[in-house]
Structure 1
Amino acid sequence: MPQLNPGPWFLTMLMTWLTYLMIIQPKLLSFTPINSPSNMPNTTTKTTSWLWPWT
């Protein structure tokens, strides 16, 4: 069963993850989010239940 032989694909998978961890991930983490969740005000909204016409 050739799909169980990790020889041809293990190096490809290893290089892909190393590229992601060393190059792509730090570049993505350096971006600053525009709308930071910590700047959102803590407001509570009053909700009312619906009056279903068929009940």
Structure 2
Amino acid sequence: MPQLNPAPWLLFMGLSWLVFAAIVPTKVVKYIENYNPAPKNISQAKTRTWIWPWS
């Protein structure tokens, strides 16, 4: 069984790995927002009872 000739695809595989490993992550990180949640109010909201019009 003959071996594959790496000349046509080896360059493209190397360049694609270079793009995915070096260029794409830096562009994706720019769009990720830092998630800084605001502290929630500890006191609970007071709820009112529902007044049914027929009762």
TM-score normalised over the length of structure 1: 0.43
